[in-house]
Amino acid sequence: MKALVIDFVLAAVTILSAHQAPGQVSAQASSPRVSAEFQVEVSQLASRGLTLKQAVEASLEGASRYLAAIFQQEKPKAPNEAFEFRIIEGDGHASKTVFRRADFFFSFDLGGEPNNLNATDINRDGLKEIIVQSSSGGNCWSCNPTEIYQVRNHKVELIAAGPVQQIGDLNGDGVQELLVTDSRWESYDDLSHAASPGAVMVYAWRNGKYVYAARDFAPFYKAELERLRTAIEEAKSRITADEFSDEGYVGLAISVALTCAHMGELERGLKELETLLSSNVKSPEQSKHRAAILDDFKKGDSFKKLREIKYGDPMM
């Protein structure tokens, strides 16, 4: 299975441009061009079977120049060594690798789209961040995490990692928040993957780290609830007496409860969940299944899980 995943990933790699402006990712069929100070290091890596696929040059810390680069290994010893992500530091004349990580796949694109925030100061702390998406080779919500790096005192630091859906400024203060998938509920209660309940957790930059601060972004969550309730109305029409015909409806109902919990209104979410699960029932089997889910959220494992993450908890 892993080999199939790697074959698919490698086939989907976007070969990037030879023309690169500082802080931008190259995007064309030939290898990206890099500044002279990095060329010796890149050439040495090429002699070891590493092909440069994507590159970002930027002054990440002070006047020092850095090359954030993604390489593909020509003959990896293992599937999880097919790609390398490196950060190379230059002094204007020569350069050296100061950070390396290997995995199934890396890309500076997020969700298949170019990431214009790369090599910018997304959290306004005075340092520019490098944002890279990796892959562990699996097929799950958390199998393709986004990793965010800084360079501080010439040392590379990982400041965030997880299933980031989006990076955006939710409150207009110029600081980017991380919208992270709450992957704990994937395939909950053996619901089909398409019907799995989900929610978004908002992490904000506070005191030098990303922390869970969802309740501070009520407008975002209100919009999420509106979207879910619209989807619930559509899901109602698909419910029949067939046992699993209400999976989509049930998953969305749970998503409402999760979203309310993240915005700091857990009890409201549980009440709405009870109302939704008690409605639009078409068979005794559906009623029994929903009662078990509700019991789980009132006093089972889900009851505990809803309370695991506390306001201010760090992302890492």
Residues 185 and 156 in one domain: no
The whole-angstrom distance between residue 46's C-alpha and the CA centroid of its chain comes to 30
Residue where a domain terminates, one of 162, 187, 204: 162
Is residue 211 within 8 Å of 315, Cβ to Cβ? Answer: yes
Identify the pLDDT of residue 161: 97
Q: Which residues of 198-235 are buried (b: 16+ CB within 10 A; e: fewer)?
A: bbbbbbbbeeeebbbbbebbeebbeebbeebeeebeeb
- Within this chain, do residues 150 and 222 fall inside the same structural domain, yes or no? no
Q: How far apart are CA 65 and CA 63, in angstroms?
A: 6
pLDDT per residue over 10-24, tens digit each? Answer: 333 332 232 233 344
Lowest mean pLDDT among 114-118, 207-211, 220-224, 251-255: 114-118
pTM of the model: 0.88
> Any residues with CB less than 8 A from the CB of 293 and at least 6 apart, and which?
189, 250, 254, 277
Statement to judge: residues 135 and 9 lie in one domain: yes
Q: Is 149 found in the same domain as 22?
A: yes
pLDDT digits (tens, 9 = 90+) for 64-91: 899 999 999 999 999 999 999 999 999 8
Averaged pLDDT, 19-39:
64
Phi then psi for residue 178, to 5 deg, are: -105, 125
What residues does 255 pair with on adjacent strands? none
**Looking at residue 136, what is its pLDDT?**
87
Q: Name which of 309, 314, 7 is nearest 135 in CA terms.
A: 7
The pLDDT of residue 47: 97
DSSP H helices, the chain, are 2-12, 36-46, 218-236, 247-262, 266-277, 284-299, 301-305
Residue 279 confidence (pLDDT): 97
pLDDT at 298 over 80: yes
For residues 288 and 177, state if they share a domain. Answer: yes
Gap between the Cα atoms of 285 and 215, Å rounded? 36
Residues 143 and 241 in one domain: no
Residue 228 belongs to domain spanning: 165-316
Choose one of 130, 162, 194: the last residue of a domain.
Answer: 162
pLDDT digits (tens, 9 = 90+) for 119-158: 999 999 999 999 999 998 888 999 999 999 999 999 999 9
Please compute the mean of the pLDDT values over residues 267-281 and round it to a whole number. Answer: 97
CA geometry: angle at 251 spanning 161 and 214, to 5°?
A: 40
Q: Can you give the pLDDT at residue 28?
A: 41
Last residue in a domain, options 98, 128, 162: 162
Question: What is the count of structural domains for the chain?
Answer: 2
Q: Confidence class of residue 25 from pLDDT cuts 50, 70 and 90? A: very low
Q: According to the model, what pLDDT value does residue 85 have?
A: 98
